[in-house]
Amino acid sequence: RKEVEQDPGPFNVPEGATVAFNCTYSNSASQSFFWYRQDCRKEPKLLMSVYSSGNEDGRFTAQLNRASQYISLLIRDSKLSDSATYLCVVGLVGGTASKLTFGTGTRLQVTL
């Protein structure tokens, strides 16, 4: 079983749609959780951290369920510029001292 599992997609959605990505992780000792965005031929960039209480940043909402070891990302009102691969990332130790484990990514294509 992979340490971090994601549906690879691709998800093809029209502009304005709402899309949700899911992720599960296997190590219950994981302490930090992130969603990264990676554009084609570019490095990953942090989209948002994920907290147990859930957090929202504009059109993006992230949720964490520690009991189920499940992370989600919801994108509302999708824009063409949201087209990218979204990486679910899990850190073993809290804070900045942890190694990150990356999911294989979910590809999103937003169309007109």
Partner 1 sequence: SAVISQKPSRDICQRGTSLTIQCQVDSQVTMMFWYRQQPGQSLTLIATANQGSEATYESGFVIDKFPISRPNLTFSTLTVSNMSPEDSSIYLCSGAGLYGYTFGSGTRLTVV
Q: Shortest gap between Cβ of 42 and partner 1 (angstroms)?
A: 7
- Single-letter amino acid, residue 44: P
Binding piece for partner 1, criterion CB under 8 A, among 20-28, 51-59, 68-76, 94-102: 94-102
- Single-letter amino acid, residue 87: L
CB 62 within 8 A of CB 23: no
Q: Identify the residue whose tokens are 């009991």.
A: 67
- Single-letter amino acid, residue 15: E
Site for partner 1 in 22-81 (CB under 8 A): 34, 41-46, 49
Residues engaged in binding partner 1 (CB under 8 A): 34, 41-46, 49, 87, 96-105
